[in-house]
């Protein structure tokens, strides 16, 4: 997927590279956004970025190196220490975020198209997402000037003691390919509201929308260096950001393997880290549920976004007494799903975003079959009208899955549902919690007591009762166990970018009689 330039040769670095590219190809060329300007990568190397629907490259993004990361971090550090952003009042900071929210609202349809082209998400979903993303920016715009310390009624005589909450420093945000613009909002909005500057490194598979988005920050009035984006590989540009001594905070969305690696590297310098990782979330359906609503929720949980969401409800835990009847409902919905061009408004299931992910999903289907799971629908590449580019997989359901199987334990990140039967509440709780992940769970029941008991017992960051996939700027989001560390969204997300400083003021003229004894 990642080519050098047209003839496969590395070009010499230098001015004019972009114009050579424009002349040679009709492909769109994206540049890094550093210190308020669009710039070429210092080594002059670029990567193709493909449209998952056609399988064809449609644009090029920089293959940034440690040098680009260094320039971006230096710009970000200067912006938040000596630049105008550092001197701004919190209310003025909030105003910038609000300006940006308005511009995103205006530019939403265009940004949605860029994202659809780059990662194959449905335009129907992206249209809704882009209408909602400004609310995240507005929410943190409002919070910017409500970051308050406290006056502590201190127990020591003649002391006035208070706390201040200060921006942590330069934030590096590393994001996954499945919802790049949403992740920018989740990470950059609270970070900027807190007074931090940011450098974003989007996924090498879907950087275009974030680079396009960067333009909007100029119109919104953000001073140079406050918001930066560099594109490139994770183990090159990404790793350089993780290791950079002037990055104080890392906020990451991606796989647990990469998250653990980043966490280990960050630990060497005791950097602050937030991780939003994978999941193997259960949708738990009791016999007393509204079964039509539950079936719709289960389908939305696993087949929407082609199952490429961290919150995918990839395990259906269904009470044995209704299992067969419930699976029949799912089959009906899955059969009716229209697979095809993500840009068409009536498409339900789009392509898998990357060739590697496509192969991974097919491999997991083989694993499930080898483990003895029963395939009841799908299980193979989708073909037919409107299907191009060899990256489509039919919605797939396995029954007769047991909790110890790999298909019940490991994240597939595709349209593959594992159905596991359970007898009673205790059994359901045991199976639900019997995974290394703890991102989310759905509970479908009409019994309010059971709903509350289940929400107590599930070891996850989010429990949805009689709904699934609801997220909001107001509601904390994040995982337990291997699903991550920290929370995004809601009031508490801003704390992920703040340090608390304790200030002690001696109000008397006295000094300690014995300076060798702690007071
Ligand atoms: P990934 O871990 O491969 O990459 C995520 C980001 O990290 C990319 O920008 C990548 O370039 C970068 N990266 C990779 N190696 C790096 C390194 N050594 N140092 C620094 N940066 C590095 O994940 P992905 O394949 O892009 O995304 C899929 C995964 O993301 C899935 O596991 C999914 O569950 C998870 N995800 C989690 C959430 C959540 O909020 N919990 C949301 C969406 C996706």
Q: What is the pLDDT of residues 407-457, one digit of tens each?
A: 999 999 999 999 999 999 999 999 999 999 999 999 999 999 999 999 999
Q: Are residues 320 and 286 in the same domain?
A: yes
Predicted confidence at residue 390, as pLDDT, reads 83
Q: Residue 458: pLDDT above 80?
A: yes
Q: What is the DSSP string of 333-367?
A: HHHHPPBS-TTSTT--B---SSHHHHHHHHHHHHH
Q: Are residues 312 and 459 in the same domain?
A: yes
232: left (phi > 0), else alpha (psi -120 to 50), else beta? left
Is residue 489 in a domain? no
CA of 469 to the centre of ligand 1 (A): 20
- The domain that holds 154 is classified in CATH as 3.40.605.10
Q: Indicate if ligand 1 lies below 6 Å from the C-beta of 207.
A: no
Q: Indicate if ligand 1 lies below 6 Å from the C-beta of 411.
A: yes
Q: What is the pLDDT of residues 22-49, one digit of tens each?
A: 434 578 999 999 999 999 999 999 999 9
Q: Where are the strands (E) in 184-246, listed by range?
A: 198-201, 227-229
Q: Indicate if ligand 1 lies below 6 Å from the C-beta of 393.
A: no
Q: What is the DSSP string of 102-157?
A: HHHHHHHHHHHHHHHHHH---HHHHHHHHHHHHHHHHHHHHHGGG----EE--SST
Total number of domains in the chain:
2
Best probe residue, ligand 1, of 47, 69, 136, 176 (max atoms within 8 Å of C-beta): 176
Q: How many CA atoms lie within 13 A of 303 on its CB side?
A: 26
Return d(Cα 363, Cα 340) in angstroms, integer: 22
pTM for the whole structure:
0.93
Q: Are residues 191 and 164 in the same domain?
A: yes
Q: Residue 519: pLDDT above 90?
A: no
292-to-367, 378, 443, 454, 467 alpha-carbon distances in Å: 30, 21, 14, 21, 12
CA of 417 to the centre of ligand 1 (A): 22
DSSP 183: H
Residues 265-280: what's their mean pLDDT? 98
Tokens 């230096």 locate to 74
CA of 192 to the centre of ligand 1 (A): 22
Q: What is the mean pLDDT of the chain?
A: 94
User: Which band of pLDDT confidence, cut at 50, 70 and 90, is reported for residue 227?
Assistant: very high
Question: Which residues, 6+ apart, have CB-to-CB distance to 64 below 8 Å?
Answer: 32, 41, 42, 201, 230, 231, 232, 236, 237
Domain boundary among 465, 480, 504: 465
Starting at the edge strand found earlier in the chain, the sheet holding 498-506 runs: 151-152, 159-167, 498-506
Q: What is the pLDDT of residues 108-142, one digit of tens each?
A: 999 999 999 999 999 999 999 999 999 999 999 99
Residues 179-191: what's their mean pLDDT? 98
Predicted confidence at residue 511, as pLDDT, reads 83
Predicted confidence at residue 26, as pLDDT, reads 75
Residues 227-241: what's their mean pLDDT? 98
CA of 176 to the centre of ligand 1 (A): 4
Q: Are residues 110 and 51 in the same domain?
A: yes
Predicted confidence at residue 143, as pLDDT, reads 98
Q: Indicate if ligand 1 lies below 6 Å from the C-beta of 278.
A: yes
Return d(Cα 326, Cα 312) in angstroms, integer: 19
- The domain that holds 320 is classified in CATH as 3.40.309.10
Return d(Cα 161, Cα 152) in angstroms, integer: 6
Let me know: does 30 contact 209? Beta carbons within 8 Å: no
Q: Indicate if ligand 1 lies below 6 Å from the C-beta of 61.
A: no
Q: How would you class 243 by CB atoms within 10 Å of its CB: exposed for 0-12, middle for 13-18, buried for 19 or more?
A: middle
Q: Residue 11: pLDDT above 90?
A: no
Q: Residue 3: pLDDT above 70?
A: no
Q: Indicate if ligand 1 lies below 6 Å from the C-beta of 481.
A: no
Q: Indicate if ligand 1 lies below 6 Å from the C-beta of 64.
A: no
Return d(Cα 423, Cα 421) in angstroms, integer: 7
Residues 512-518: what's their mean pLDDT? 86
Predicted confidence at residue 14, as pLDDT, reads 33
Q: Are residues 320 and 208 in the same domain?
A: no
Is residue 11 in a domain? no
User: Above pLDDT 90, what percent of the chain?
Assistant: 91
Q: Name the active-site residue from 45, 115, 236, 310.
A: 310
Q: What is the pLDDT of residues 65-85, one digit of tens each?
A: 999 999 999 999 999 999 999
Q: Are residues 132 and 238 in the same domain?
A: yes
Predicted confidence at residue 517, as pLDDT, reads 87
Active site residue 488: no
Q: Are residues 84 and 215 in the same domain?
A: yes
Active site residue 276: yes
Is residue 515 in a domain? no
Q: Are residues 256 and 344 in the same domain?
A: no
Residue 321 lies in domain: 282-465
Q: Residue 270: pLDDT above 80?
A: yes
CA of 241 to the centre of ligand 1 (A): 14
């Amino acid at each position: 997927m990642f080519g050098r330039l047209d003839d496969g040769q590395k070009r010499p670095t230098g001015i004019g590279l972009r114009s050579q590219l424009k002349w040679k190809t009709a492909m769109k060329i994206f540049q890094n956004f550093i210190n308020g300007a669009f710039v070429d990568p210092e080594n002059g190397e670029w990567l193709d970025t493909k449209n998952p629907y056609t399988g064809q490259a449609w644009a090029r993004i920089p293959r940034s190196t440690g040098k680009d990361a260094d320039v971006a971090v230096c710009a970000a550090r200067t912006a938040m220490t000596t630049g105008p952003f550092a001197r701004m009042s919190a209310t003025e900071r909030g105003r910038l975020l609000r300006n940006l929210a308005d511009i995103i609202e205006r530019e939403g349809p265009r940004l949605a198209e860029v994202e659809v082209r780059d990662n194959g998400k449905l335009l129907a979903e992206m249209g809704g997402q882009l209408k909602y993303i400004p609310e995240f920016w507005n929410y943190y715009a409002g919070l910017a000037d409500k970051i308050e310390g406290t006056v502590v009624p201190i127990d020591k005589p003649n002391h006035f003691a208070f706390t201040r909450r200060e921006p942590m420093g330069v934030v590096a945000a590393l994001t996954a390919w499945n919802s790049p613009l949403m992740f920018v909002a989740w990470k950059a909005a609270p970070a900027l509201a807190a007074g931090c500057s940011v450098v974003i490194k989007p996924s090498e598979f879907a950087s275009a929308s974030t680079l396009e988005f960067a333009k909007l920050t100029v119109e919104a009035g953000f001073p140079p260096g406050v918001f930066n984006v560099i594109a490139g590989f994770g183990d090159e540009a990404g790793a350089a950001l993780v290791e950079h001594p002037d990055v104080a905070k890392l906020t990451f969305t991606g796989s647990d393997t990469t998250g653990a690696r980043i966490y280990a590297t960050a630990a060497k310098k005791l950097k602050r880290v937030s991780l939003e990782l994978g999941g193997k979330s259960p949708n738990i359906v009791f016999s007393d549920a509204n079964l039509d609503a539950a079936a719709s929720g289960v389908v939305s949980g696993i087949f929407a976004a082609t199952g490429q969401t961290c919150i995918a409800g990839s395990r259906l835990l269904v009470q044995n007494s209704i299992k067969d009847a419930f699976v029949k409902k799912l089959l009906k919905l899955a059969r009716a799903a229209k697979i095809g061009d993500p840009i068409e408004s009536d498409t339900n299931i789009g392509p898998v975003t990357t060739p590697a992910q496509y192969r991974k999903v097919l491999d997991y289907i083989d694993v499930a079959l080898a483990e003895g799971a029963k395939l009841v629908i799908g299980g193979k590449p989708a073909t037919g009208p409107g299907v191009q580019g060899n990256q489509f997989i039919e919605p797939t359901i396995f029954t007769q899955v047991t909790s110890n199987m790999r298909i019940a334990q490991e994240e597939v990140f595709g349209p593959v549902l594992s159905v596991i039967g359970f007898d009673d509440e205790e059994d359901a709780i045991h199976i639900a919690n019997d995974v290394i992940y703890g991102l989310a769970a759905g509970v479908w029941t009409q019994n309010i007591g059971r709903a509350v008991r289940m929400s107590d017992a599930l070891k996850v960051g989010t429990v949805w009762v009689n709904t699934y996939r609801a997220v909001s700027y107001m509601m904390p989001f994040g995982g337990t166990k291997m699903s991550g560390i920290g929370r995004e969204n809601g009031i508490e997300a801003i704390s992920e970018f703040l340090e608390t400083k304790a200030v002690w003021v001696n109000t008397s003229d006295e000094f300690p009689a014995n300076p060798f004894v702690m007071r």
